[in-house]
Amino acid sequence: MTDLIVLQAKSYLPHIPLTVISQGAEAIVFETSVHPYCSKPSLRNQSKFIIKYRPPKPYRHPKIDASLTKSRTIGEAKFMALLARNGIPSPSLIAADFPHGIIWMEQLGGKLPNGEPSSLKNWLWYLERTNNASECVSEQVENICRQVGILIAHLHMSDMVHGDLTTSNIILEDGKPYLIDFGLSSYSSMAEDKAVDLYVMERAVLSTHSVYAEKYNFWILEGYLEAQRSSGDGKRSRNALVDTLRKLDDVRLRGRKRSMLG
């Protein structure tokens, strides 16, 4: 199936070298060395770029599928553009082909010493596998986790919700976290939606970094609180934060009940 999807992508991107780096339920992600508009790209002096491709879904009616692909690609591209406008660290949008479900963007991060991409998940795993406990909860790790919390807070203060906050969807570049993958993202001022975002992140940390999850989650939430409290938006910001934290407690309780009921 992957070979067929690659052939489909190549038909829309002729003469563009494509290397598959990940595949999910909605899209396949390629790496390429070609910029769509210039032979000598200046974007952070990059030589590699990312192409995200939403392939057709054979189980949907072709017209419905085409409409969904186009609208979701437009929605994701608009979300990325708004992130950039609001100064929220994320990949720069380079180009898009909405009817064919293609988004061309900046590639962030590099490789860890073990050759893995520098996502927050891979970085924490690398530390956990190659270092002692003190290194895994070092000042550097605390600083990164707090930065992640600050990043999420800035997202939420812009009334934007990621929808799939995990340590896989945060990339580290030069010690700074960036958000990626906005296929499930949306706009919302509701405390419930922001609380669910935070809860998804908590559960992701717990499931992938269970030994140190309590500290990681504490630091992430501390960063979140710090950014919200220092936003300069006064009473409105404080009330929004209180509402979000109250909803977060509710979401946690619902999650525990579901776990108990199986």
Mean pLDDT (whole number) for 57-85: 96
- Give the C-alpha separation, 172 to 226, whole Å: 21
pLDDT tens digits, one per residue of 152-197:
999 999 999 999 999 999 999 999 999 999 999 999 999 999 999 9
Q: What is the mean pLDDT of residues 63-76?
A: 96
Give the Å distances, CA to CA, from 115 to 118, 126, 135, 152, 224: 9, 10, 20, 27, 31
One DSSP character per residue, 143-198 reads HHHHHHHHHHHHHHHTTEE-S---GGGEEEETTEEEE---TT-EE---HHHHHHHH
Same domain, 84 and 151: no
Residues 222 and 97 in one domain: no
Q: How far apart are CA 220 and CA 226, in angstroms?
A: 10
Is 164 a catalytic site residue?
yes
Where among 106, 133, 156 does a domain terminate?
Answer: 106
CA dihedral 72, 65, 59, 56 (to 10 degrees): -70
pLDDT band of residue 258 (cuts 50, 70, 90) is: low
Q: Which domain holds residue 57?
A: 2-106
Co-location of 95 and 29 in the same domain: yes
Which pLDDT band holds residue 141 (cuts at 50, 70, 90)?
very high
Dump pLDDT digits (tens) for 15-30.
999 999 998 888 999 9
User: Are residues 101 and 166 both part of a single domain?
Assistant: no
Say whether both 129 and 241 belong to one domain: yes
CA-to-CA separations, 259 to 46, 218, 252, 255, in angstroms, rounded:
45, 22, 11, 6
Give a yes or no: residue 111 inside a domain: no
**Same domain as 126, residue 218:** yes
**Average pLDDT of span 233-260:** 80
CB-CB contact of 98 with 73 (8 Å): yes
Average per-residue pLDDT for the chain: 92
Active-site option among 3, 65, 164, 243 = 164
Residues 124 and 208 in one domain: yes
Spatial distance between the Cα atoms of 56 and 5, rounded to a whole number of angstroms: 9
Where is the domain boundary, 106, 128, 145?
106
Residue 16 lies in a domain: yes
Asked, for residue 115, whether it belongs to a domain, the answer is no
Residue 1 has a pLDDT of 62
- Are 72 and 144 part of one and the same domain? no
137 and 254 housed in the same domain:
yes
pLDDT in tens, 219-237: 999 999 999 888 766 666 7
Q: Does residue 132 sit in the same domain as residue 253? A: yes
- Residue type at position 142: E
pLDDT at 220: 98
The total domain count for the chain is: 2
Q: Are residues 125 and 95 in the same domain?
A: no
- What is the pLDDT at residue 25? 82
Q: Which of 194, 238, 181 has its CA nearest to residue 27?
A: 181
Which pTM value belongs to this model?
0.92
Residue 11 has pLDDT above 80, yes or no: yes
- Pairing relation of β-strands 93-97 and 102-106? antiparallel
Q: Are residues 11 and 124 in the same domain?
A: no
Q: How confident is the model at residue 257 (pLDDT cuts 50, 70, 90)?
A: low
User: Which of 76, 106, 136 delimits the end of a domain?
Assistant: 106
Q: For residue 80, what is the domain's CATH number? A: 3.30.200.20
Residues 6 or more apart whose Cβ sits within 8 Å of residue 154: 86, 87, 88, 227
Q: How does residue 259 score in pLDDT terms, banded at 50, 70 and 90?
A: low
Q: Any idea what the CATH number is for the domain that residue 163 is in?
A: 1.10.510.10
